[in-house]
Structure 1
């Protein structure tokens, strides 16, 4: 009799472990304190590139989420909220206004403006968000819903830079945005480490990219690098490694 009880307990524990380890899909809505839905809200699993953005009605759907994962919900002008995933599959999230976020400085063209005074379509990603991801290039740090309206497609060639699309395909030719690092126009962000970036501003509409003329027709990615600060010296180190394996040989005639 004791053997059957012990076997039953082990089976129950095994089933519970499987239930907790299974990934699931979470859906929900995001609104402000007045009940108005918020479109373009970033919903991201903390420490991963798994994320989504809310649609026009404030709805979102996030796949491959495990119980115990933490989800960050962020929106321009709103205080970021962090939630822990439980047994629920549907979430109703309310964000509150943040005066600190409205006072943030945004790089626009050749100058800077307060977030509250910017009327164009601008998305920003700061150093704290980028450092939370285990990525080796700056373009990959923009994926996962961190910058609404931005699509990052990984290249198929080992070592190649990802392709960044702002608001989808704009032409049948070159769809790459214009990259500007500290006021200097560059071809891509492959030559700069994500750890050296203070913040990234993505200019997405005509009013914010007009200063760059035709070169800014596919959008503009403005990068501000870190500067020296007074105080004690700090040293940090991290490293990543990876590899590529071919799945099969392709013979050509």
Structure 2
């Protein structure tokens, strides 16, 4: 497969890279010439991803890590080494109401969705700043800004990552590091389909596009945000990719 060379010579760390949006992002960045460091927990899926990237003419390696564990996040950052692109995609989501959400479940959402990106940025962004260039893309969710009666812990963890996106843009932007986020609406992945079943289609139908997104559509936006030529003046921005929200009157 012929790849474009806009990311040739660059290294990209993608968390949650073995499925869904993360896998689509990893494949796209590798196709564009980046060496991909793919994080996940399943070694078999990690090996399959590396094989798929290699078969397309790209370069990748898999680093297993449990992002709920601080030591594993720190080990992942050390194993990744100097990176030019960091995509904080990994996330956990359970759509429970508040009384049904245990303290442990709340802590797990915060640990994976908020703390892990925080620790990775703390470990890797200073090196980007010293080298004078780098791009960080955080994958948020429409749950961060759209109140719902379930998924409160998930929404809170994603709202935090959107504030961190703006804070990191202010902290590192003057030293050549751009930090942005993409906020998807309903996306058809194995995870969402397994959890929500046909409800993922119902969620998609209430958008102005009338359907759930494919992972590749969100990966295209991540790819745009990574590209210094096409998005070089974007910093501290959250790109909404929710298919369009219907107004209360239209609904």
Higher RCO (CA 8 Å, separation ≥ 6 residues): 2
> Which has the larger share of strand?
1
Larger gyration radius, structure 1 or structure 2: 1
TM-score, length basis structure 1: 0.27
TM-score, length basis structure 2: 0.28
